[in-house]
Amino acid sequence: MSAKIIDGREIAARMRAELKTEIEKLKTQGIVPGLAVILVGDDPASKSYVTAKEKACEEIGIYSDDNRLPAETSQEQLLELIIEKNSDPKIHGILVQLPLPKHIDDSAVLLAINPSKDVDGFHPVNIGKMVADKKAFLPCTPHGIIQLLIRSGVKLDGAHVVIVGRSNIVGKPLANMLIQKSPTGNATVTICHTRTKNLADHTRRADIIIAAAGRPNTITDDMVREGSVVVDVGVNRVEDKTKKAGYRLVGDVDFEKVKKKASLITTVPGGVGPMTITMLLYNTVESAKMTAR
């Protein structure tokens, strides 16, 4: 057998079309969803990512407020800008691109964002609401993974999901979301990590494996049972002299071998990545809709 590909680009495009329709309705009420993007410094990967977000905003009709600051910007200056955006009625979401320069405290910046505009879903208020199963902005990558699965016809109710990775960005929030008593949850979740003994014993029992370890070939074909669903969150650079850049991107899964055993599998790139930006747009639209009520 060979797995069917879960096409993140196609699912993201469908969701963005849905969002565009919602934005058009909001505009008839005089509301244009606005996202403030703040980038400090000139990290190439961050610049590329921010540009992609701004392009996505433009395509579906979200107002993108671009704030690019020099690397020497002080923490105080950055916090002042965030406070300004908190009180700006044209702005419904605030995104501060990480990583920040070393002289700036990430936690202080995160706490400065008004939770009602925290469209990344990382403010402690939103994390607390998520854990308590209250309405909140959900972290974009975990929420995107759940949308990928649901829109691909994967049943979560009663499924055994093994998450390999325990980060605050993916592993922990995703586990919390999947165990909630809801149509997008009701799964039984096992969290594995770098200190897990006999990792393959856990993954071979999974209906769904979500690899978010940040290491190539963490999941190999002998660790996957026939017919399971595999979602690869990893994005790793490996040397490849045949490429102009000198490297290629791979995930955490040995794709070519694992796809012969899985029933559904994501690719890297083109799987989870497009969904992360899409859920950021989704949260921004949700924030704008709250102002319309």
Query: Can you read off the two tokens belonging to residue 251?
Result: 């995930």
> Got the DSSP string for 228-253?
-EEEE---EEEE-TTSTTSEEEE-SB
Percent of the chain with pLDDT over 90: 89
184-205 average pLDDT score: 96
Q: What is the distance between the alpha carbons of residues 96 and 98, in angstroms, rounded to a whole number? A: 6
Based on the residue annotation, tell me whether 97 is a catalytic residue of this protein.
Answer: yes
Which one is predicted more confidently, 293 or 84? 84
pLDDT at 108: 97
Which of these is catalytic: 65, 85, 97, 172?
Answer: 97
Residue 63 DSSP one-character state: E
Q: 19: pLDDT confidence band, cut at 50, 70 and 90?
A: very high
Which residue from 287, 286, 273, 255 is spatially nearest to 53, judged by alpha carbons?
A: 273
Which residue from 162, 182, 181, 184 is spatially nearest to 171, judged by alpha carbons?
A: 162
CA dihedral sign of residues 161, 164, 168, 169? negative
Residue 72 · residue 100 · CB < 8 Å? no
Q: Which residues pair with 162 in a beta bridge?
A: 190, 209
In this model, does residue 293 exceed pLDDT 70? no
pLDDT at 198: 97
Q: 241: pLDDT confidence band, cut at 50, 70 and 90?
A: confident
Which of these is catalytic: 65, 85, 117, 120?
Answer: 120
Q: What is the distance between the alpha carbons of residues 250 and 238, in angstroms, rounded to a whole number? A: 7
pLDDT at 219: 97
Amino acid at 93: G
Average pLDDT, the chain: 95
Backbone angles phi, psi at 132, to 5 degrees: -85, 5
Which of these is catalytic: 53, 85, 172, 259?
Answer: 53
Based on the residue annotation, tell me whether 243 is a catalytic residue of this protein.
Answer: no
Kindly report the pTM of this predicted structure.
0.94
Those residues with Cβ within 8 angstroms of residue 86's Cβ, 6 or more apart along the chain or in another chain:
94, 112, 113, 114, 117
Based on the residue annotation, tell me whether 120 is a catalytic residue of this protein.
Answer: yes
Query: Can you read off the two tokens belonging to residue 132?
Result: 């308590």
Please state whether 72 falls in left (phi above 0), alpha (psi between -120 and 50) or beta.
alpha
What torsion do the CA atoms of 57, 16, 189, 5 make, to the nearest 10 degrees?
-120
Domains of the chain listed by start with CATH number: 30-115 (3.40.50.10860), 140-273 (3.40.50.720)
In this model, does residue 65 exceed pLDDT 90? yes
CA dihedral sign of residues 49, 51, 52, 58? positive
